[in-house]
């Protein structure tokens, strides 16, 4: 790769701008410019114990993942001086430091028990306060310019101000200004976390009461871990808001809003909530019922779904949604990945993170843009021209779920998000499921087509009406 070549600052600046505009070739060029240098940096910085457990190429890939995500979100920028290497190396050093913290910590309160298949890669548990501090540091670094990030990294390595100034070619006054700004940002973040109410109408729980066992799921908003309650030994699911969203007030409100929503729902077909809390570093988490079974996405990805299975599961989803709609809640993100099948063969609907109140207004809460999973979205979620979001939005979502189980693909598949959203919002209907699955029963295909009608008024009026149609099919 060309990562050993000197960086052309203007080229890096142009490539980053093109990447933000969606040019994947620019991403490939940015990757080629630094990958081998990041690998060399990681190889040189890894201590012998860490080198036996961490692959430098994996570190480099992780660096680029963080860089591309941060660049998309506007957290990283290049000045006219062309500081791509400084930025990449600062991200790399931060990740290597987190690895070192993880390797050296001996105890933690919200501990991690490593699965057997990964035990050789991690020797000991991570102390929660250290992990939280590292997360906070990531937010602080993201808010600084490349020179500031480098100054912080060097200070964390024990360098004095004069040494940092000498190594970076800057004045001591500039270095002190960067360090003071970082302290101010940290104080502001911790103060904001202290003022936030982590207990939105449900039981408050302490992070010290649970052990994290392993990650079992991840989405745009959060990550879900299998966890164990220390006092009872009972296993639960712990859902954490992604750390890059902790500074986004709308995302935090949405995440805690899921707790409020679930607190008002009590149904055997809906994953329930047990509590909500916050770590010392300000991370929000929900404690949920653990469903010990696969999602319908996992099942459908492994084998074809029989027509009778698809109908039975969809009817169970309708029962759960009837309960939610009766309490004024629309799910707004129905898809196979959000429907779990427990060990008794019972369907459990999960992830109410995008839920709305019926009659709560048209269009998403500002700040997060279009919300939902594009291939499964109802037209009114993609464009207000189709009307407001209401219970019929979930009727469409159930139809999209049923369509996917029957045909093996969503109603509007595609690779580019813009193209999928355009198909969803256009007047053109979804494909006929009977054409994609020859032999499908006529009444079932008709019920599915009615659910997926673009005008909300042409769909089943309620999920109960849909359920009755499925029971007759």
C-beta neighbour count of 10 within 10 angstroms: 11
What is residue 189's predicted lDDT score, i.e. its pLDDT? Answer: 58
Q: Which residues pair with 288 in a beta bridge?
A: 237, 273
Contact (CB, 8 A) for 318 and 467? yes
Helices (H), 46-83: 48-51, 56-72
Q: In the chain, helix, strand, coil percent, each to 5?
A: 55, 10, 35
CA dist 257 and 200 (Å) reads 7
CB 386 within 8 A of CB 421: no
Phi and psi based region of residue 382 (left: phi greater than 0; alpha: psi -120 to 50; beta: remaining): alpha
Given a contact cutoff of 8 angstroms between Cβ atoms, the answer to whether 366 and 250 are in contact is yes
CATH number of 296-472: 1.10.510.10
Q: What is the CATH number that goes with domain 207-288?
A: 3.30.200.20
pLDDT of residue 76: 66
Residues in CB range of 20: below 8 A, 6 or more apart: 71, 72
Residue 129 confidence (pLDDT): 42
Distance CA(306)–CA(299), nearest Å, equals 11
Rounded CA-CA distance 334/325 in Å is 14
Q: What's the pLDDT at 22?
A: 73
Closest CA to 411 of 423, 419, 422: 423
DSSP summary character for residue 332: -
Instruction: Report the 10 Å Cβ neighbour count for 320.
Output: 21
What is the C-alpha to C-alpha distance for residues 470 and 309, in angstroms, rounded to an integer? Answer: 12
Domain boundaries, the chain: 2-108+123-195, 207-288, 296-472
Contacts within 8 Å (CB) and 24+ apart, 413-419: 413/375, 414/375, 417/374
Structure tokens at 462: 């309620």
Q: Which residues have a catalytic role annotated?
A: 333
Q: Write down the pLDDT at residue 119.
A: 27
Distances (CA, A) of 103 to 34, 47, 50, 97, 128: 26, 10, 7, 10, 13
Angstrom distances, CA of residue 145 to CA of 75, 117, 127: 10, 39, 29
pTM given for the model: 0.60
Q: Which H/E stretch holds residue 450?
A: helix 442-451
> Is 239 labelled as part of a ligand binding site?
yes
pLDDT of residue 244: 83
- Asked if residue 143 lies in contact with residue 185, where contact means CB atoms within 8 angstroms, the answer is yes
From its phi and psi, is residue 443 left (phi > 0), alpha (psi between -120 and 50) or beta? Answer: alpha
- Please give the C-alpha separations between residue 387 and each of 90, 207, 253, 284, 362, in angstroms, as whole numbers: 47, 42, 25, 34, 7
pLDDT tens sequence for the chain (473 residues): 343 334 454 567 777 777 777 777 777 788 887 888 888 888 877 777 777 667 788 788 888 888 887 777 666 666 544 567 778 888 888 888 777 766 554 233 344 443 323 322 333 333 344 445 555 666 677 677 777 878 887 787 677 888 888 777 788 888 888 888 877 776 665 555 444 454 545 778 888 889 999 998 887 788 999 999 988 999 999 999 988 888 888 888 888 889 999 999 999 999 999 999 988 777 889 999 999 999 999 999 999 999 999 999 999 999 999 999 999 999 999 999 999 999 999 999 999 989 998 865 433 333 344 678 899 999 999 988 999 999 999 999 999 999 999 999 999 998 788 889 999 999 999 999 999 999 999 999 999 999 999 999 999 999 999 999 999 98
Residue where the block lists tokens 């355009």: 422
DSSP symbol at 203: -
pLDDT at 444: 96
């Amino acid at each position: 790769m060309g990562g050993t070549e000197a960086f052309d600052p203007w080229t890096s600046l142009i490539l980053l701008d093109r990447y933000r505009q969606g040019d994947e070739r620019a991403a490939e060029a940015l990757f080629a410019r630094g990958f081998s240098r990041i690998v060399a940096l990681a190889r040189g910085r890894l201590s012998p114990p860490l080198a036996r457990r961490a692959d430098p190429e994996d570190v480099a890939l992780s660096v680029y993942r963080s860089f591309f995500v941060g660049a998309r979100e506007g957290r990283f920028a290049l000045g006219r001086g062309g500081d791509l290497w400084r930025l990449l190396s600062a991200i790399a050093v931060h990740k290597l430091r987190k690895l070192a913290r993880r390797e050296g910590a001996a105890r933690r309160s919200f501990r991690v028990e490593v699965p057997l298949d990964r035990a050789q890669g991690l020797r000991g548990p991570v102390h929660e306060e250290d992990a939280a501090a590292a997360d906070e540091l990531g937010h602080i670094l993201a808010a600084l310019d490349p020179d500031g990030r480098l100054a912080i990294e060097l200070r964390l390595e024990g360098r004095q101000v004069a040494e940092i100034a000498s190594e970076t070619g800057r004045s001591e006054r500039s270095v002190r200004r960067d360090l003071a700004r970082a302290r101010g940002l940290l104080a502001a973040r911790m103060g904001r976390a202290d003022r936030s109410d982590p207990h939105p109408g449900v039981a408050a729980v302490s992070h010290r009461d649970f052990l994290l066992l392993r990650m079992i799921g991840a989405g745009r908003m959060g990550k879900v871990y299998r966890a164990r309650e220390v006092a009872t030994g009972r296993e639960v699911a712990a859902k954490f808001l992604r750390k890059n969203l902790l500074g986004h007030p709308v995302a935090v409100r949405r995440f805690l809003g899921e707790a409020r929503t679930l607190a008002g729902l009590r149904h055997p077909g809906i994953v329930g909530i047990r509590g909500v809390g916050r770590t010392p570093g300000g991370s929000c988490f929900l404690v949920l019922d653990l469903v010990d079974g696969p999602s319908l996405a996992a099942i459908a990805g492994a084998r074809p779904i029989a027509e009778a299975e698809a109908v039975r599961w969809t009817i169970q989803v309708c029962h759960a949604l009837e309960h939610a709609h009766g309490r004024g809640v629309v799910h707004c993100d129905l898809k196979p990945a959000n429907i779990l099948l427990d060990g008794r063969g019972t369907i459990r609907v999960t992830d109410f993170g995008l839920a709305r109140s019926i009659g709560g207004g048209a269009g998403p809460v500002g700040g997060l843009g279009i919300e939902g999973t594009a291939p499964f979205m109802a037209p009114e979620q993609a464009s207000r021209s189709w009307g407001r979001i209401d219970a019929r939005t979930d009727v469409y979502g159930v139809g999209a779920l049923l369509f996917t189980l029957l045909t093996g693909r969503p109603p509007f598949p595609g690779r580019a998000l813009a193209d999928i959203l355009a198909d969803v919002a256009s007047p053109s209907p979804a494909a006929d499921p009977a054409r994609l699955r020859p032999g499908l029963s006529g009444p079932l295909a008709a019920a599915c087509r009615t659910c997926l009608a673009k005008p909300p008024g042409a769909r089943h009026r309620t999920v109960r009406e849909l359920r009755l149609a499925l029971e007759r099919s």
